[in-house]
Amino acid sequence: MSSTENGQWYPPEWPERIRALAAGELTPVAPRRAATVMLLRDTPAGPAVHMLRRRTSMAFAGGAYAYPGGAVDPRDTRATDSTGPADARWAERFGTDEATARSVVCAAVRETFEEAGVLLAGPDPHTVVADTTGADWEADRAALVAHELSFADFLNRRNLVLRADLLGAWARWITPEFEKRRYDTYFFVAALPEGQRTGNASTEADATVWVRPEEAAAGYDRGELLMMPPTIAALRELLPYATAAEALAAAGDRDLTPVLARARLEAGEIVLSWPGHDEFTKRIDSA
């Protein structure tokens, strides 16, 4: 279900689940940690961002545009050979422990490779892999997706270090308590490494696009591009930056306070809101 004015997506079962939560008949599912990355590349008209369109057949957010990302794999904590901010600095930035911080950063890099074919890693702390195409790379990517290979083992096999310094933490959103599938998602920004190119490597996506944030936001506003609130919010937050480097530089000052949707009953309606993001407020008939 989406609004008629724009492309905001939310599931049709939410009103029923919101009522059940309010009545104490629904126990919230614990959210899984996840990471997603807004890959940026510069164009003459300004930075463009890489987006995936989720398959319309998917039960959750089918047809919606999103960024490469997914849940943290328990094995992601093993990817300790990295360069960039130390685990302690990421932990302080995230307000969590070092192992959790390490796993989130690793998940961001792993998911970007799994879903977009882009690898933020290199043979040393100062370089990045220039080409990730070819049958051998695809075999490793497929093994990662199938959970047959951990990201740590993948990096070790290829003598690569994870380039955590290429990531900038951007935002944090937690799926509402009334949703069946819940994620505590950390959003990152990163520039597309020179020489690499994106591809539609995700089994969950039927299309990919490089699009300028203002164009994608305009498509959402016209109701042509379907997006979940965190996706369009992050997209709008990219608008002030003229280059990918500017966006990355701004990431260090970003507020990572989690955004969690709230719902209340008011005059026969369910009022759904996201604190700090008034544009997503929805009034739904509670009958």
What is the DSSP code (8-state) at residue 61?
T
Residue linked to tokens 């599931």 = 11
Which residues lie below 8 Å from residue 50, measured CB to CB, with a gap of 6+? 38, 39, 40, 41, 67, 68, 116, 192, 198, 208, 209, 210
Run of H or E residues at 29: none
pLDDT band with cut points at 50, 70 and 90 for residue 200:
low
pLDDT in tens, 216-255: 999 999 988 999 899 999 999 999 999 999 999 999 999 9
- 1 falls in which pLDDT band (50, 70, 90)? very low
Check residue 181 and give its pLDDT.
87
Across 196-222, b (16+ Cβ under 10 Å) vs e yields bebeebbebbbebbebbbebbbebbee
Angle at 222 between CA 276 and CA 68, to 5 degrees: 65
Q: What is the pLDDT of residues 176-191, one digit of tens each?
A: 888 888 999 999 999 9
Instruction: Please report the domains of the chain, with CATH numbers, ordered by start residue.
Output: 29-259 (3.90.79.10)
pTM of the entire predicted model: 0.91
Lowest mean pLDDT among 3-17, 19-33, 224-238: 3-17
pLDDT recorded at residue 56: 67
Distances (CA, A) of 217 to 33, 65, 171, 230, 243: 27, 11, 18, 13, 17
